[in-house]
Amino acid sequence: MNSKNKKSDFSQIKTLGPVVVLFLLFTGCAVPFETANTLKAGKAENIIGYTAPLNVTARTNFGVTGYTDLGIGLDMGAHLSSDPVFCLYGTGKQKILSFGRNPNFNLLVSGAYGVVVTDLNPENIPYYHYTLLLGMENEINGFLFGIGVLQDPRFSWELMHEEFSKETYIHVLIGIEINKFLFQIQTAHKGRDYNGGRDEFINFGFGVKL
């Protein structure tokens, strides 16, 4: 009987291991929920998104010229404790080049700047990203690929000091748009530190355009 229980416990541990590893990959930082094109002048869109495991995003984009968007966003989530973490930021996107027809291909530059606010840290640390985007879209669906520079203190939790730090990452964004639904993957990479370690993270998020 004890032998059967031990086998059962071992099997549960083997199953739980990959789940724990996957959970650790989910940092709680929100994907940026970028889109493959800019809005027509005077148009606006609202995006509600969720990034695993505990982050919700509300974002509004405004079309300024047809080639330029401005917007605001708020991320609400939790990190490695029960304390809430908020990130409030402004966004901007500029279309550089557009070619093709059904599908259309767009080359864009996107950026965001804001602040991460939490009781976990004695000071509020800036959040920003600057990203080069290539978008492809037709009337219904779209695809997005981006690469850029990111500072997000939610990636930089110093466990020993129990606070966030300022770290800069190279981030890559891949997104698929189906009707009004957005599915995005974001990875963040930092080179080797003085200990020879590397910081690499991955986020999965989905949202809807209202």
Q: How far is CA 55 from the centre of its chain?
A: 10
> Is it the case that residue 21 has pLDDT exceeding 70?
no
Q: Provide the pLDDT for residue 172.
A: 97
User: Residue 23 — φ and ψ, nearest 5°?
Assistant: -65, -40
- Domain of 27 in residue numbering reads as 2-209
Q: Provide the pLDDT for residue 96.
A: 97
Give the residue-averaged pLDDT of 112-118. Answer: 91
Q: Who wins on pLDDT, 125 or 66?
A: 66
Tell me the CA distances in angstroms from 52 to 16, 75, 162, one per residue in order: 18, 12, 22
> Is it the case that residue 193 has pLDDT exceeding 70?
no
pLDDT level of residue 192 (50, 70, 90 thresholds) = low
Tell me the CA distances in angstroms from 138 to 21, 46, 106, 178, one per residue in order: 37, 20, 11, 10
CATH code where residue 39 lies? 2.40.128
Burial of 82 (0-12, 13-18, 19+ CB in 10 A): exposed
Give the pLDDT confidence of 33-48 residue by residue, as tens digits.
999 999 999 999 999 9
Q: Provide the pLDDT for residue 7.
A: 46
Tell me the CA distances in angstroms from 29 to 2, 60, 72, 116, one per residue in order: 43, 19, 17, 11
Q: Who wins on pLDDT, 121 or 6?
A: 121
Q: Are 182 and 206 in contact (CB under 8 A)?
A: yes
Give the pLDDT confidence of 36-92 residue by residue, as tens digits.
999 999 999 999 999 988 899 999 999 999 999 999 999 998 765 567 889 999 999
Percent of the chain's residues with pLDDT above 90:
58
Tell me the CA distances in angstroms from 120 to 53, 83, 86, 123, 128, one per residue in order: 19, 7, 11, 9, 19
Number of domains in the chain: 1
Q: Provide the pLDDT for residue 25.
A: 44
Give the pLDDT confidence of 136-188 residue by residue, as tens digits.
999 889 999 999 999 988 877 655 445 677 788 999 999 999 999 999 999 99
